[in-house]
Structure 1
Amino acid sequence: MFRHLFPVMLLLIPILNAQASEAVYEQNFEEEEVDDYPMDFLVLEGDFTVQEEEGNKFLRLPGTPLGSFALLFGTNETEGFEVSARIRSEKTKRRFPSFAVGVNGVSGYKLRVDPNKRSLEILKRDEESLVQIPYKWTSGSWTWLKIRIRKAADSKWMIEGKAWEEGAEEPKDWMISYEETEEPVPGKFSIWGKPFSEKPIDYDDLKAVKID
C-alpha cells in the first residue's frame, strides 16, 4: 500500500511548496500607462513614472533633482514576507547611485546596494546601518534585490537579504542577515533610490511573497 502512495506524495510536494510561498503582490508595469504610475502606489518623494524601452515597461526615478526618494506599495504587514525587485542605474565618473527594497514601511528595514561604499547593507529607519558586507555592483546592469523578514523565536526576528546581477543564478543562501529583538511595526513594502550620479534609477518586477 505505502509503495503505491509514494508516487502520489511526490506529486504533492510542488503543491505544498507553492502554498508555502504565496505571492501577495506583483507589478511588472506592462499594463500601466507611460508617464504615469500605478494608482496603488503611495509616493513619499520623487517623480516616479512608467517608461518603456525595447518593449519592456518599468518604473523610472529621474536623475535629477538629487535627494532621497521612495514609495510604498502593498498592504501593511509585520513579518513572514519576502520582497524583491530588479533595479538598474549607472555611475558617472566617481559618483554613484544607491537603491533599496524594504519592508515594514518608512521606519522599517531596507536592503540597500551602495556602490560608493561597495557594499550590500541592511538598514533600519532612516539611515541606521545594522550590518553590511562587501558587494560588487555593475553599472548599467539590472540587479535583483530580495529582502525577507521572519520570526525566528519569541522576541527574535531575522532580517535577511541577497542581491545578484541579472542573468546570474540567484544565490541559494541569504548573503546578509540581522537578528532583531525589537518587535517590528506593521508597514507597507517599499523601494528607495538616491540618484547621486544624476542618472535615472529604474525599477521592475516588484513582488511580495508570503512565507511560513
Structure 2
Amino acid sequence: MAVNTIPAHWVNTTMKFAVRGLEGGNRVLVKTTEGSSLLSRARAYMGPSNLSDYTVEADILATQKRRQQGDAGVIAQRYVLALYGNSQMLHLEPWQPETARTITMPFAWKPDAWYRMKLSVENLPDGKVRARGKVWPAGEQEPAVWMIERVDPLPNKQGAPGIFGNALAEIYFDNLKVTPNK
C-alpha cells in the first residue's frame, strides 16, 4: 500500500488510520491522532461479519505523548484483546465491554516497543465461546500458555476480524494475520 493511504476495503478507517513508512522502508498502519478527539477511539474491520473460529495476530507499538500512552488491540469474532497504556492493563472484552464479562490483568508494557498480540476465539460444542489471548515482546518466542481466557456463556458466535486503537498517542500495527483455527 502507498504511504498516506488506507486499506480501501476495510471498514471504519477513514480519517482514523493511515499507512506510514518507517526507516528502513517498512510500511505500517498507524492509528493517527490528527483531527477531532471524536476520532481518537476506533475499531477497524477487515473481513466479513459472518466469520467464526479464527485467530488474529498483530505486532503493535504504542508511542507516548505528554505522558499519555495509547491503547491498542486486536479483534476476533467481536471479542477484543486490548492493551491499555496508561493503566498498564490487558483486557479481554466482549463486543460491548461489560464489567462482569471483561477479564483484566496487570500487564506492564513499554511505549515505543513492539509487542505481538494473539487472540483466538472458538465456538464450543455446548454453545459457548472460548476467547483467549496472549501478548509478548515481538521478536521473542511465543509463550506456550494463554495469558488470559474466558468461556463466554453469552457468546458472540461470529464477527469480523479487526484492530482497535485509542490514540492518545500514535499506535502502529504491523504483521497483521488472520488464520482459521485448526
- TM-score of the superposed pair, with normalisation by structure 2: 0.88
Give the aligned length.
Answer: 176
The reply to whether residue 191 of structure 1 matches residue 157 of structure 2 is: no
**Equivalent-residue separation in structure 1 for 2:171 and 2:111 (angstroms):** 11
Amino acid in the other structure paired with 1:57: R
Q: Runs of 5+ in structure 2 lacking a partner?
A: none
The residue correspondences of 1:1-212 to structure 2 (distance < 5 A) are 32-43=1-12, 46-53=15-22, 54-64=24-34, 65-66=36-37, 67-104=40-77, 108-129=78-99, 130-196=102-168, 199-212=169-182
Q: Please identify which structure carries the higher helix content.
A: 1
Deviations 1:78-126 (A, max 9, x none): 531100111112223432211111022xxx2100001222211111223
Amino acid in the other structure paired with 1:200: E
Deviations 1:130-171 (A, max 9, x none): 101111111101111111101233122110000111122111
What is the root-mean-square deviation of aligned Cα atoms in Å?
Answer: 1.8
Q: Runs of 5+ in structure 1 lacking a partner?
A: 1-31
How far off its partner does 1:186 sit?
A: 2.5
Q: Is the 8 A contact 2:62 2:111 kept in 1?
A: yes
**Which position in structure 2 is the counterpart of 1:21?**
none
- TM-score of the superposed pair, with normalisation by structure 1: 0.76
Label 1:126 to 1:61 Cα distance change in 2 as closer, same or farther (>3 A).
same
List structure 1 runs of 4+ shifted beyond 3 angstroms: none
Label 1:128 to 1:175 Cα distance change in 2 as closer, same or farther (>3 A).
same
Rg larger in structure: 1
Identity %: 23
